[in-house]
Structure 1
Amino acid sequence: MKVLFDLQYLNVASTGIKTYMVELAKGFRKYPHPEIEFIFTHEPDEQLKDESFKGPQSKIQRLNYHLDYFRWKEFQLPDLVKKYKPDVLICPDFVSPAASLPCRRLTIIHDAFFWQMPQNYPRWWRKYFLSLIKKGLKEQTEIITTTEYSKKSLLENLGDDFPISVIYQCPKSLKSPSELGVFSKLNLEKQGYYLHIGTFDKRKQLLLLTNAFAEFVKQTGSDKKLLLVGGPGQSDQMNDFPKVEALIQELGLEEQVLIPGYLSDGEIKSLYEGAFAYVFPSENEGFGIPIPEAMGFGLPVIHSDQKALMEVAGGAGLPFQTGNQQDLLEKMILLEQDSALRQSLSEKGKIRSADFSPQKFVEAFHQIILKSGS
């Protein structure tokens, strides 16, 4: 069976979708199946290096990107289908070609944010992108999503015209050597900081976390720090970075709440290895990669009780009521004071993280590919 894997979007992908595409491509090569031949539209490493549409852009540059993306999905990708004659086309970025194709389609729709949180997107862009998604849902399509929560959300917004399957993804494989210099670079002590990694999207609730941490320091006198690693939100509507930065200054916490931007894989690995705990207060996630990632390093994880995060944590995290600053504060204090709880969460987390291995991720795709061909 021949499978064509669309990797075009890696030239702009960030955070979760980038990790999904890269790890799946690596997995297809590391765990081959004797009955499946994979063809990649692009070499992953080369596509990641393409800087054509990355970084700050003018309106003209953004328009050029959308035109490039449209050309790819509606003309170039269908041409590759004609060329390679695959049995299955995998599109991991929500959108499959609107053109009729002679093969089955596995379209990955990671979450239902476009329907659930319209306020976070430019109106014209959201309308355009939703039209692309819907036009590509045709013929022999099966939707793949990341959690049962996302599946339920997609059924509510797309209906049940096409089957939806859940495949748990794996976190990023941090194979780079640890870069211990990050501790002196950021003036950190091991076990001396809470960690959060991700963009400053509004839904990540980093303002809430910063306020809760300020109260935590006030009530406990702790000298621990809060490390918020990552870059701005993906649009003006979604970006809380300036607000978090201003709040830190207002609270006088410039020395205790650190926002170092993006860091290297080796630095991220060191930060996971040295953190006291991971905090994930997001109000909405389709999956929540940092949970199994942090748990794999043995970190206790405090997370909101948002449904996808509860599903992924599987009882191995310490949940608080989503959006409730006081509850988050109480969980941080509890974790600080209860060493037995920290040890228990660490042990449970390591066990839970094994459910999100690269091999399981890939083998779940193998099963669906072969099932669709039976």
Structure 2
Amino acid sequence: MKVLLDLQYLNVATTGIKTYMMELAHAALTYPHPDIEWVFSHDPENQSADQTFKGPQSKIQRLNYHLDYFRWKEFQLPDLIKKHKPDVLICLDFISPAASLPCRRLTVIHDAFFWQMPQNYPKWWRTYFLSLLRKGIKKNTELITTTEYSKRSLEEYLGKVNPITVIYQAPKSLDSGLDTTFLEENDLATKQYFLHIGTFDKRKNLPLLVRAFDQFLKKTKTDFKLVLAGGAGQSVQMNDFPIVEKLLEELGIQDKVLLPGYVNDEQVRTLYKNAFAYVFPSENEGFGIPVVEAMGTGVPVIHSDQPALLEVAGAAGLAFKTGDQQDLMEKMIILSLDNAQLNSMIQNGLEQSKKFSAQKFIEGFQNVILKK
């Protein structure tokens, strides 16, 4: 069985989707199946390192990217299929070619945000993107998604015409070294800070976390800090970074909250390894990869009771009511005062994280590929 894996989107992918694509490619090579021959459209490392369309973009540059993406999906990828003659095409970035193809399609749709949260996207772009998405779903298309919650959400908007399979993804392999100077340079004490890693997208609800942390400091009189690592939201509509900056100034806690921007793998591992707890206040997630990353490094997780996060964290997380600042603050205080619960969450989290291995990730795809 020959399988063509479309990795073109790695030239712009960030955070969750980038992790998904890279880990699947690595797992395909690490855990080969005797009945599957993998063909990669691009070398994953080289495509991920391509800087052509990364960074701040003018309108012309963004238009050029969209034209490049369209050309790839509708012309170059079908030509690659003619060349390699795969039995299965896997597209990991929502979009499959609109043209009829002589092979099965597995299309990964990570979440239903485009339908659920239209206010977070430019209207013209959302209309265009959803049109591409729907045109790529043919009779021989099988959909893959990340959680049962995402499956239910997609069925609501796409119906049940095409089969949808849930495959839990694997977290990023955090096997790099540690940045031994990072904590000292940023005045961070081990186990004395709460952590969040990710973009400042509005759905992440980071202003809520900042306000809850401010309350936490006032109530506990502790020297804890808060680290919000990651870049700006992906569009003007989605970006809460300026709001967070303004909020820190209004609350007068600039010295208590670190905004280091994007951090490299060694810094990510350092932040996880030394954090007191990870806090995930998101309003909506398709999976929530930081939950697994944090638990796998022995960090307890406080998260909103959003369905995907409850599904991924299981009983190992400490959930608060989504959007409830008071409840979040109380959960942060509880964890800071109860060593027994803290230690229990660490152990339960380590066990829960084992459910999301690279081997199980690729086996999920292998089962779908080889099913009769």
Q: TM-score range by the shorter chain?
A: over 0.9
CA distance in 2 between counterparts of 1:59 and 1:130 reads 21
Residue range with higher mean Cα deviation, 116-125 or 183-192: 183-192
1:216: how far off? 0.3
2:303 aligns with 303
CA offset digits 1:271-312 (Å, max 9, x no partner): 111000000000000000000110001111000000000000
1:205-249 Cα distance to aligned partner (Å, 9 max, x none): 000000000000001101000000000000000000000011111
Q: Is the 8 A contact 1:216 1:332 kept in 2?
A: yes
1:176 corresponding residue in structure 2 = 176
Amino acid at match of 1:237: Q
Work out the CA distance in 1 between the residues paired with 2:259 and 2:310.
27
Matched, 1:235 2:235: yes
* Unpaired runs of at least 5, structure 1: none
What runs of 5+ residues in structure 2 fail to find an aligned partner? none
Query: Contact 1:11–1:47 (CA<8 Å) still a contact in 2?
Result: yes
d(CA) in 2 for partners of 1:25, 1:308: 24
Q: Does 1:44 align with 2:44?
A: yes
Show the 5 A alignment for 1:193-232. 193-232=193-232
Q: Which amino acid aligns with 1:92?
A: L
In structure 2, the partner of 1:105 is: 105
- Decide whether the 8 Å contact of 1:100 with 1:139 is kept in 2: no
Q: Please state whether the residue corresponding to 2:101 is helix, strand or coil.
A: coil
Instruction: Return the offset for 1:139.
Output: 2.9
Distance 2:204 2:15 in 1: 13
Q: Which whole-Å CA distance do the structure 1 matches of 2:176 and 2:289 have between them? A: 18
- For the 8 Å contact 2:139–2:162, the answer to whether it is kept is no
1:308 partner amino acid: A
Equivalent AA in structure 2 for residue 21 of structure 1: M
Deviation of 1:180 after TM superposition, in Å, equals 1.5
Q: Is the 8 A contact 1:88 1:369 kept in 2?
A: yes
Residue identity opposite 1:355 in structure 2: K
Aligned to 1:264: 264
Give SS of 1:356's match: coil
Q: CA deviation at 1:55?
A: 0.6
Deviation at 1:174, TM superposition (A): 1.2
CA distance in structure 2 between the partners assigned to 1:312 and 1:118 by the alignment: 25
Distance, in Å, in 2 between the alignment partners of 1:310 and 1:48 is 31
SS at match of 1:42: coil
RMSD over aligned Cα atoms: 0.5
SS in 1 for 2:228: strand
Amino acid at match of 2:125: W
- The match for 1:91 is 91
Cα pair 2:151 2:166 within 8 Å, conserved = yes
The residue identity in structure 2 corresponding to 1:20 is Y
User: What is the TM-score with the length of structure 1 in the denominator?
Assistant: 0.99
Paired residue for 2:133?
133
Query: What's the CA shift for 1:178?
Result: 1.0
Once the two structures are TM-superposed, the CA of residue 58 in structure 1 deviates from its matched residue by 0.7
Runs of 4+ with >4 A deviation: none
